[in-house]
Chains A and B, each alone.
Chain A
Amino acid sequence: MNLRKRCNIVSMFMLVAWLAAAALTLANPAAGEAASKPEAWEKRQGGTLVIGSSKDMNTKHPFTRVTSVDEFIKMMMWEPITMYDLAGKLHGILAESWEPNADASEWTFKLRRGVKFHNGAEMTSADWVWCYNYILNPANGAYANTVLSDNIAKVEAVDPYTVKFKMVGPRALFPHVLSSIQNGTIVPKNSLGGKVGEIEGNPPPGTGPFQFVNWTPGTQVEFKRFDDYWEGTPYLEGLRFRIITNKAARQNALRAGDVNMADRLRPSFAERVKKGRITGIKTRAVGGAGFRQLYFNTKGKWTSDKRVREAIILSLDREATVEEGFLGVGDPLPLAVPPDSDWLRSGAANLPSYERDVKRARQLLKEAGYNGEPLSLNMTLGQEVALGEAIVRQAAEAGLNIKMAPVESTIFYERLGKGDFSLLMSSGRFRGEPGLEETINYVCEKGKVRRSRTGYCNPAMDALISSYPTASDRAERVRIYGEIVKAVFADEMMQYGIGWSNNRNFGWRDNVKNWQRGPGQEYRNALGGLHRTWIEK
């Protein structure tokens, strides 16, 4: 592995941990005391922060499916129950604490006191119960229904600030599940109704640092400061997400000062900022957002043969692929977990060596009777074509005929659903519990949840992966993760990890102070976010 890059990513994680610790000591608001003012508030307050955003918010509904930037924007007004910090530690946001019973089949959550909704009402357990019952009722069509009904059997209020969840079985990872607003942010009770997934007028109030003002779909989303925010009044008076889909246009807008911040800038832009050729701007690579990996269709024409899958893996050189495919801004790594983490140690122990061996690959292909028949590489248009090309070229040296098929995302998912592909390029991010991420790819039948994307179907695998969320002990989950890795990578050769792509850069003008990114996102983490950011006058 490239040592320099390794150092980069390690130092990044260290920095993040330090920041988290610092923030912990600094920003510990007094519980129950809303409308407190953070440090130097009078001096720093004011101004509207304009953000050039690559994508728009999707809906005004809190319980529809969220997609990356859509979720980041919504998290300005709606907050999850729990949230990760940059070090990967889970913190309470709308809950102060939580406690499972012995086998994690029952969870008791203590609500944070003094949390106010944007409409002025205080958040209580009645709101929680109403929201979870809303999601659990299939007639409402909430996206989280699938996930939550696999966790919660019953939800009840113990007192105004205590909620008890009866689970369908042992569910050790329930607080993790609640770290996404999609799986249950809290809005005032009875604030939703009508047709599935639709909202008339303004979205329901949330508890977040900013409250909704208006939304012009595809153009901009506007928020204003929520003075009674439980963590203290934000500095910024307003927040405006300007939707600028084009990278060049976002960069121009940032340079021209039309926006104060912009996401997803080109590496070349960051390079010019670094070299001092563009001034007045700072940038940072927001790594950890895009891990790239290949999946094989185990029901595919040729890829159903394990020898072919192994041959493809043996034909690839990870270092070279990353260098070529990520244009020099990537970190080669076989698993979508932080380097030096116990996850990686546990997984890596079970990984095959992955030394490139073209000769062996040819031998395997010969045995499988493969003779240059086309194999399709299904990928979305947004993904790195350079990466696909690197893979195609290396595989060709072993006699493999891989055809890149970059398609628009609806078609991508449709092919996925039909199993109409040989290889699949997918991106993922680390969300704290890597064992949960593979469910969709390898679990075949599990109640009413989906069939596996790779077409793989094995009760032993089903049992292994479903045992993961039941394990209360982290060490146990680390061990199970290692087992999953062994089965997926070593035994079945169904997956190949390429590495982290660090080509997403976030930029901000010099006068924007105290911007802190979240894990995999730009605007919020458990210990900081735009509500702690100010514009220097």
Chain B
Amino acid sequence: MRMIRYTLLRALQMIPTVLLVTVAVFVLIIIIPGDPVLSMLGYYADDVTAVPHEIYDRMFRELRLDRPIPIQYLYWLGDALQGDFGKSVVFRVPVIDVVLSRVPATLYLGTASLLIAIVVAVPFGVWAAVKNDTWVDHLASGFVLFGVAVPGFWFGMIVILVFAIYLGWLPSIGYVAPQEDFLRFLKHLIMPATVLGLDVAANILRFQRTDFLDQLHQDYVRTARAKGLPGQVVIWKHVLKNSLIATVTVVGLNTARLLGGSTIIETLFSYPGLSRLLIEAIYARDFPVIQAVVLWMVVLVVVVNFFVDLIYAYLNPRIRYTTA
């Protein structure tokens, strides 16, 4: 009951946050230099005298740039709520189509790398903490150091060199939809997901290990052992649940990052993700695309935070009561 109330409350709190963000996204676009009318017409910014006036003015009105900014915002918000983010300046197709064409690829890559990260980091972190100061622990520290210090770009290059160029096992670029060919989907996914996943794993592992070590010295662990519970039960039931609070924070931060896409990895593997779309849209002054992608990313962060909060509440019962 309390959990349900807490969930509803948190869900309601997302609405003003998202609204505030839409305002920020809208204003941001106004601040960025460049004339959207010229880009829409396919002219360079120094071409202004070359555009026939009637065309310029018509486009100006079509884009509602003649209206006061708050009105422009309301129009934009109204359309956005119906999934209409306008047309891409560069591609001249509906923004929603461009963005949606990138969403699945990004989600697959994000989810896969997150899974890899969690599957590697959590047990490894627990193991390293339990075997504190042994070779396992040193191995974990080495992994963390490697993951944090070595740039993903470089690691990705090495992986491509080995598996795509020398061994020829995996394709170096691109993405195939799973419904099209699942095996090829996996082959395309495995390298970028691993590179990204291990990077995040190092991040999670660092926190997981430290926090688990800290939890191991808590009084409740001694109590649990005094009750005669076997070491495995103490670790995986009692300690893990508490240490996950810290882990969930790190995982949450990384989830938002991963689901938003990783520019470097997407570029290196020529993977059709959102992050690359955003960068290219910024270069091309594709305002509607920028707005849609930024909004998507921010909404993603808000939604991920919502779930992180729910998981917090599950892991740490105190939260449910103080807020609900």
A and B touch in their complex, CB below 8 angstroms: yes
A-to-B contact residues, CB < 8 Å: 52, 58-61, 64-65, 138-139, 141, 143, 145-146, 195-199, 216-219, 242-246, 248-249, 252-253, 255-259, 408-411, 413-414, 416-417, 448-451, 453
Q: Once the chains bind, are B277 and A416 in contact (CB under 8 Å)?
A: no
Across the A-B interface, the 6 shortest Cβ-Cβ residue pairs: A417-B46, A413-B45, A65-B42, A256-B164, A217-B91, A414-B45
Minimum Cβ distance to chain B for residue A381 (Å): 9
Q: Once the chains bind, are B43 and A143 in contact (CB under 8 Å)?
A: yes
* CB within 8 Å for A217 and B45 given contacts A245-B280, A450-B50: no
Q: Once the chains bind, are A64 and B45 in contact (CB under 8 Å)?
A: no
Minimum Cβ distance to chain B for residue A508 (Å): 16
Q: Once the chains bind, are B173 and A258 in contact (CB under 8 Å)?
A: yes
> What are 28 inter-chain pairs, A to B, with CB distance below 8 A?
A138-B54, A139-B55, A141-B55, A198-B87, A217-B91, A217-B101, A219-B101, A243-B270, A245-B276, A246-B268, A249-B270, A252-B157, A252-B173, A255-B165, A256-B168, A256-B172, A258-B164, A258-B172, A258-B174, A259-B173, A408-B283, A410-B285, A413-B44, A414-B34, A416-B44, A416-B46, A449-B49, A453-B46
Q: In the complex, what distance in Å separates the CA atom of A197 from the CA atom of B62?
A: 13
B223 in contact (CB, < 8 A): no
B77 in contact (CB, < 8 A): no
Q: Once the chains bind, are B52 and A253 in contact (CB under 8 Å)?
A: no
Q: In the complex, what distance in Å separates the CA atom of A60 from the CA atom of B98?
A: 14
Closest to A408 in B: B283
Q: In the complex, what distance in Å separates the CA atom of A258 from the CA atom of B271?
A: 13
Neighbour of A451 across the interface among B49, B59, B280, CB < 8 A:
B49
Minimum Cβ distance to chain A for residue B29 (Å): 13
Q: Once the chains bind, are A256 and B44 in contact (CB under 8 Å)?
A: no
Q: Could you say which residues of chain A place their CB within 8 Å of the CB of B59?
A: 141, 196
Q: In the complex, what distance in Å separates the CA atom of A414 from the CA atom of B44?
A: 8
Minimum Cβ distance to chain A for residue B55 (Å): 5
B171 in contact (CB, < 8 A): yes
B-to-A contact residues, CB < 8 Å: 33-35, 39-50, 52, 54-55, 58-59, 62, 87-88, 90-93, 98, 101-102, 157, 160-161, 164-165, 168, 171-175, 267-270, 272, 276-277, 280, 283, 285
Q: Could you say which residues of chain A place their CB within 8 Å of the CB of B168?
A: 256-257
Q: Once the chains bind, are B165 and A252 in contact (CB under 8 Å)?
A: yes
Q: Could you say which residues of chain B place their CB within 8 Å of the CB of A248?
A: 157, 268
Q: In the complex, what distance in Å separates the CA atom of A258 from the CA atom of B54?
A: 48
Minimum Cβ distance to chain B for residue A147 (Å): 10
Q: Once the chains bind, are B267 and A256 in contact (CB under 8 Å)?
A: no
Q: Once the chains bind, are A216 and B165 in contact (CB under 8 Å)?
A: no
Closest to A70 in B: B90
Identify whether the interface residues of B are mostly helix, strand, loop, or mixed.
helix
Q: In the complex, what distance in Å separates the CA atom of A258 from the CA atom of B55?
A: 44
Neighbour of A244 across the interface among B49, B88, B161, B270, CB < 8 A:
B270
Identify whether the interface residues of A are mostly helix, strand, loop, or mixed.
loop
Q: In the complex, what distance in Å separates the CA atom of A92 from the CA atom of B14?
A: 63
Q: Could you say which residues of chain A place their CB within 8 Å of the CB of B175?
A: 219
Q: In the complex, what distance in Å separates the CA atom of A197 from the CA atom of B276?
A: 25
Q: Once the chains bind, are A218 and B174 in contact (CB under 8 Å)?
A: no
Q: Once the chains bind, are B41 and A246 in contact (CB under 8 Å)?
A: no
Q: Once the chains bind, are B50 and A449 in contact (CB under 8 Å)?
A: yes
Closest to B285 in A: A410
Q: Could you say which residues of chain B place their CB within 8 Å of the CB of A196?
A: 41, 55, 58-59
Minimum Cβ distance to chain A for residue B66 (Å): 17
Q: In the complex, what distance in Å separates the CA atom of A409 from the CA atom of B283?
A: 8
Given contacts A139-B54, A258-B171, A417-B44, 18 further A-B contacts (CB under 8 A): A59-B42, A64-B92, A218-B98, A218-B272, A218-B280, A219-B175, A245-B276, A246-B268, A248-B157, A255-B164, A255-B165, A256-B160, A258-B173, A409-B283, A411-B33, A413-B45, A414-B45, A450-B46
Q: Could you say which residues of chain A place their CB within 8 Å of the CB of B268?
A: 246, 248-249
Q: Once the chains bind, are B49 and A450 in contact (CB under 8 Å)?
A: yes
Q: Could you say which residues of chain A place their CB within 8 Å of the CB of B41?
A: 141, 143, 196-197
Q: In the complex, what distance in Å separates the CA atom of A249 from the CA atom of B91?
A: 23
* CB within 8 Å for A410 and B90 given contacts A216-B272, A218-B98, A255-B165: no
Closest to B87 in A: A198
Closest to A219 in B: B272
Q: Could you say which residues of chain B place their CB within 8 Å of the CB of A197?
A: 40-42, 92
Closest to A57 in B: B91
Neighbour of A249 across the interface among B33, B49, B269, CB < 8 A:
B269
Neighbour of B52 across the interface among A138, A246, A409, CB < 8 A:
A138
Q: Could you say which residues of chain A place their CB within 8 Å of the CB of B62?
A: 195
Q: In the complex, what distance in Å separates the CA atom of A448 from the CA atom of B52?
A: 9
Q: In the complex, what distance in Å separates the CA atom of A453 from the CA atom of B87?
A: 31
* CB within 8 Å for A413 and B174 given contacts A245-B270, A246-B267: no
Q: Once the chains bind, are A143 and B42 in contact (CB under 8 Å)?
A: yes
Q: Once the chains bind, are A242 and B174 in contact (CB under 8 Å)?
A: yes
Q: Once the chains bind, are A217 and B90 in contact (CB under 8 Å)?
A: yes
Q: Could you say which residues of chain A place their CB within 8 Å of the CB of B45?
A: 410, 413-414, 416-417
Q: In the complex, what distance in Å separates the CA atom of A396 from the CA atom of B49?
A: 36
Q: In the complex, what distance in Å separates the CA atom of A195 from the CA atom of B41?
A: 11
Minimum Cβ distance to chain A for residue B206 (Å): 29
Minimum Cβ distance to chain B for residue A14 (Å): 36
Q: In the complex, what distance in Å separates the CA atom of A139 from the CA atom of B53?
A: 10
Q: In the complex, what distance in Å separates the CA atom of A249 from the CA atom of B41?
A: 32
Q: Could you say which residues of chain B place their CB within 8 Å of the CB of A242?
A: 173-174, 270
